[in-house]
Structure 1
């Protein structure tokens, strides 16, 4: 096994939720990811994970996260074995505990994307190798890292001075991870959502506790204008998440229309430099099967964001998508870093 060194200093074992990361480690991961991105852009990638093998277990479908892990592992010299719900026994005839023990005998790390947070927690508890949360119902830490790298790259301000506002379904994994990560980094983060779709009070309390130490500012409100005032970034996500009933659209569309990001809402920030973020996939027009269904049912051409915002020069959605790969590389290198020192 050959693991070459990299100028990063962050070391972690698992990444199960955003609260696993301290501010110094988070900032170092972002610096590492930026360096790895520059290496790729210059064509000077030096593989750091040669001889390692990682299991990528996805019980939910994925485009960006799967691609990010597979390409990152390939470029870093590691082997990758992809398993979905049809190609493994996990959760059907084999427990998370047994799977963790077995895979620890074959692999050096596990990326897991699934449903309940307890699944990824059990893989980490019972296995002997690093485990990374590639999305659960509750948390999406690899997405938040990519979001932070994108804001770090595209804003003239340092992260601690940035105002980022999430609008829409605030009771989802992306909002949880964004709010918590922003709290860790000392940012001004706002969640604008109706009462029924605000983050879990326990997540808000945890983020506010972190903010009391980091200097972050956290706002959770139903008031759209208060949420967006002066925002440097407006962020949204689909209004009905993977695994939720299609019938929820009938409830969500009238509830969330005031939080839909269009050109008027972008101008409403009062900040001429406001940029747009979205974790993707996005319903921004009626060209997809789901987009056409939303248009036919509600007369809405695009749901959570209008196409003119999504396609505008202010949109950073493809930067976010690319940055998934660079931040995932940084996470994996940090998890394997102790192997360089024998610790």
Structure 2
């Protein structure tokens, strides 16, 4: 039996880089690993750190480049879609681009052409922003009523996948935080940013009335690896939507307070304000904390408590 071919779409982003590193460094080396990128191939230090990977330039709006993956490597067993326009304001400013990238029509079309061994498993990263944000601890079967274009595009993606593909795991992720990946990313990392602004000692505003369940990046990776193992073990009937968040419901103020406590900063620099007092140019849901009991029960993964994850992140600096 050959190795499992895993294709990570959007492999040069924050989660994608962490996932590729984990896949490539597993002791028994059970995977052939390919990834897609859009504009720039990661630099040589990336490949030096992780090892041999197959890289493919792909345009997700048109699907150009996807056929070269299967022409070179054959049919993938698992496709993990980490690619998205995930900055809410960017989605608001260009809704057509947000829809074109975030609703994976060309990807599904490509994956639907495989019939030799049945359809691959699609693991698709969605978001907690599919929820309206009017209550605490949303469950997967609660109504999705997004308040901004980013959330709406992700709802459209979920609906499209469920209607047009047979094997999928949709992961509604909260804020993903953790250490830097093997090479720098353009994205601002939340804990590193909080640490940076608090270290200046200057007063900085944080929202006290916007709640999330931030998740440690290695927990998200473990969820994905567990789903791949489940698929490989013969469970070919995966059709599941999972809340993928940490165990703690925290406000932005509470996030800052944890960093401040662990680093020994003066917490008086943390100014508590209402989210309503700031115009960010895009609607933001107030409370999209999630009930994560389903993923815990299905995969046996207990997400890292927020304070512990922040400690691990700061220690890695």
User: Do they fold alike, i.e. is TM over 0.5?
Assistant: no
TM-score normalized by the length of structure 1? 0.35
TM-score normalized by the length of structure 2? 0.38
Higher strand share: 2
